[in-house]
Chain A
Amino acid sequence: MSSISIPNRRNAAARPPPVPSSGVSFVLPALLLILAVFILPVVMLLLRSVTEPDPGLQNYRELFESATVARVFVNTFVVSGLVTAIALLIGFPIAWLLVILPKRWADLLFGIVILSMWTNLLARTYAWMVLLQRTGIINKTLMGLGLIDTPLPLVNNLVGVTIGMTYIMLPFIVLPLVTTMRAIEPDLLRAAALCGAGRWEAFRRVLLPLSLPGIAAGGLLTFVMSLGYFVTPSLLGGAGNMMAAELIAQLVQSLLNWGLGGATAFALLVLTLALYAVQLRLLQRGRSQRGG
C-alpha cells in the first residue's frame, strides 16, 4: 500500500484537492426515510419467515413441499407468461405504427396509449369486470351474432385475468419498444431492399433483430411486474387460479401465518430481483456491443 502511494503523492498534489465526501448531507433525509420506512420493515418481514412460529427453516420446507404453494406459483408463471406474450404480439405493431405514422396520427395513438395507462387502475379493472360478466356486452354481442348459445365464462377465471392484465401491461411493452425502434436507421431497411430482400426477409433479418433489445426490455419488465400483481387478479380471477401476491395477502391477513407469508414474500422478491439482474446484464451487453 504505502509503496504505491508515495510515488503518486506528487501527482495528487497537482490535481485540485479532492473533497472527501461532499453531498452526503443532501442525500441523508431521503436515505433515512428509505432505511426506516422501507429497508427495515422489509427485513423485519423476511426475518419472520425464519423465526415464526419457531426459529428454523420449516417455513421454507413448507413453501417447497406444499402443493397449494406450488400450484399458485405455476399459475403465477402461466398468467405472467401469457400476458407478456399477448402484450408483445399486440404491442409490436403499435410501437411500429408509432414510429412510422405521420406525426398527427402518431400523436393521437400515443395519446390513447397514455390515457389508458393513466386512467385509474381500479376504474379500468371495473370496466373489464362489467364488460366480461355473464350478462355483459361481450357475451350479449356474441349471443346476438349467434356465435354462442350460452354466455361464456369470461370472468373469475384465467381468461378474465389475462385480458385485464394485458390491458394494463400494454403501455409497458409499447414505450420501451418505441425507443428502440425509433433508433433504427431507416437506411438499413432501404439497403436491405436494394440488396434484394423482400418485405418478409427484411422484417425477419433486419427489423426484428434490431428491435430485439426493446422486446427483451419490455417483455422482462412486463413479466416481472405481472409476477407480483395483486389488484387485477383478485378482482378478475377466480379462487381456482390464485396468484402469488394474493397468496401472500391471504396468508398474513386471513390466516395470520406471518412465517409462511414472509417466506412466500421472500421467494417472490428473489425471483423479481433475479429477473431484474438478467435485464440489467442484457442492457449492459447491448450497450457494450454498440460501443465496440
Chain B
Amino acid sequence: MLLDFDRLGGLKWVLVGIGILVSAFLLLPILFTVALSFGSSQWLLFPPPGWTLRWYEELWADPRWITSTLTSLQCAVLVTLLATGLGLLASFGLVRGRFAGRETVRALFLMPMIMPVIVVAVALYAFFLRIGLGGTLIGFVLAHTVIALPLAITSISNALERFDKAIEDAAILCGASPWEARLRVTIPAIRDGLFGAAVFSFLTSWDEVVIAIFMASPTLQTLPVHIWGTLRQDLTPVVAAASSLLLLFTLAVMLLAAWFRRRST
C-alpha cells in the first residue's frame, strides 16, 4: 500500500506536494536564467523592467565567446572520437580477453571517475607545464579523454556483455574474417552502448570546468573557462544569455538521445 499510489490516502497529497515543491526548486533557477537573459536590467532586476535581445547581441559581438565556444566544440568532438575509440578497444579486451591482472586494469580504468577532480587538475597542470602541453588543445583533449574514458568503457562494456558472442562466431563460420565479423556484426549490435559512450564523452568534455581552468592560457580557453572568468568579475546578464543557449543545446542532446533510444527499441 505504501508502494501503491492509489491507496496512499492523505499521504499521497503530501508526497505530491513535496514533488511539486522540489520540481520548482529544480526548474526555477533554469527558467529564471532564461527570463533574465531577455530582461533589460543590467542589475538583473526581476521582474525585468523591459525585454531586450541586447545580451545576445553582446554575446555575438564579443569574439571571445565565439572562439571559446569553437575551442570547446573542437575539444569535445576530439574527446568523443578518442574516448569512444579507445573505450571500444579496451572493452573488447576487458570483456572478451583472458589475461592476468584484468581486474586490476579494469579498476585502473575506473580510477579517474572516483578521484577528486581537483587532484587530477592540479596534477595535470604541473605535468603538462613540465612537458610543454600546458595551454594547448592536445593537453585539453588528453586530460578530458582520461576522465571521459571510465564512462565510455562502462557504457560499451555493458553492451558488449549483453551481446551473444555466438552470433559473431556464426558469422566467422559463414566465411567472415574475425575483423569483418566484429565490424559488421558486433559493432552494429552494440551501437546503443557506443552511442551512450559518445554522448557521455562529449558532455564530459563540453561541461568540464576544473581541469580546464588550470589548463587554460590567455589565448586558449574553453567556453566554461570563459564563463568562469566572467563570473569572477561580475554577474553580467551576458552570462544568462550564454547559459540559456547552453540549456537549449542540452535539451537538443537530450531529445536526440531519447529519439535514438526510441528508434532502436
Contacts and interface: CB of A to CB of B under 8 A. Distances in A.
How many chain B residues sit at the interface, stated as a range, is: 35 or more
Interface in B65-115: 86-87, 89-90, 92-94, 96-100, 102, 105, 108-109, 111-112, 114-115
A122 B228 CA distance: 7
Interface in B9-36: 9, 11, 15-16, 18-19, 22-23, 25-30, 32-33, 36
B124 interface: yes
Contacts of A248: 118-119, 122
Interface string B128-168: 00000000000000110110010001000000000000000
Interface string A32-43: 011001111110
Contacts of B183: none
Contacts of A28: 93
Contact of B254 (A100, A118, A253): A118
B27 A33 contact: no
Contacts of B149: 30, 33-34
A228 B97 contact: no
B127 A44 contact: yes
Interface stretch (A2-10, A54-62, A64-72, A182-190): A182-190
B143 A116 contact: no
Interface string A100-133: 1110000001001111101111111111111101
Main secondary structure of the interface of A (DSSP, over half): helix
Contacts of B173: none
Nearest to B116: A228
Given A265-B119, A272-B114, A202 B98 contact: no
B254 A126 contact: no
B92 A23 contact: yes
Contacts of A136: 44, 46
Contact of A23 (B97, B111, B254): B97
A254 to B, nearest CB: 13
B71 to A, nearest CB: 16
Contacts, number: 273
Contact of A167 (B29, B112, B228): B29
B231 A122 contact: yes
B125 interface: yes
Contact of B109 (A34, A118, A227): A34
Contact of B112 (A34, A115, A125): A34
Given A23-B96, A190-B1, A93 B15 contact: yes
A118 B30 CA distance: 11
Nearest to A19: B98
Given A45-B123, A114-B254, A265-B122, A276 B92 contact: no
B205 to A, nearest CB: 13
A249 B33 CA distance: 29
A270 B63 CA distance: 43
Interface in A5-35: 18-31, 33-34
B260 interface: no
A205 to B, nearest CB: 11
Given A18-B98, A33-B149, A190-B1, A97 B118 contact: no
Given A122-B209, A130-B32, A135-B43, A93 B96 contact: no
Contacts of B36: 130
B107 to A, nearest CB: 10
B90 A31 contact: yes
A96 interface: yes
Contacts of B61: none
Interface in B215-253: 224, 227-228, 231-232, 235, 239-240, 242-243, 246-247, 250-251, 253
Contacts of B126: 41, 44-45, 48, 252, 258
B62 interface: no
Contacts of B8: 100
A202 to B, nearest CB: 6
Contact of B33 (A23, A27, A96, A126): A126
Given A122-B243, A199-B9, 5 more contacts: A23-B92, A100-B4, A130-B36, A190-B4, A228-B116
Interface of A: 18-31, 33-34, 37-42, 44-45, 48, 90, 93-94, 96-97, 99-102, 109, 112-116, 118-131, 133, 135-137, 140, 167, 170, 181, 184, 186, 189-190, 193, 199, 202-203, 206-207, 224, 227-228, 230-231, 235, 244-245, 248-249, 252-253, 258, 261, 265, 268-269, 272-273, 276
Interface of B: 1-5, 8-9, 11, 15-16, 18-19, 22-23, 25-30, 32-33, 36, 43-46, 86-87, 89-90, 92-94, 96-100, 102, 105, 108-109, 111-112, 114-127, 142-143, 145-146, 149, 153, 203, 207, 209-210, 214, 224, 227-228, 231-232, 235, 239-240, 242-243, 246-247, 250-251, 253-254
Closest 5 CB pairs of A and B: A23-B97, A228-B116, A26-B93, A127-B29, A123-B243
9 contacts: A22-B96, A28-B93, A29-B89, A45-B122, A116-B30, A118-B250, A126-B33, A230-B210, A235-B231
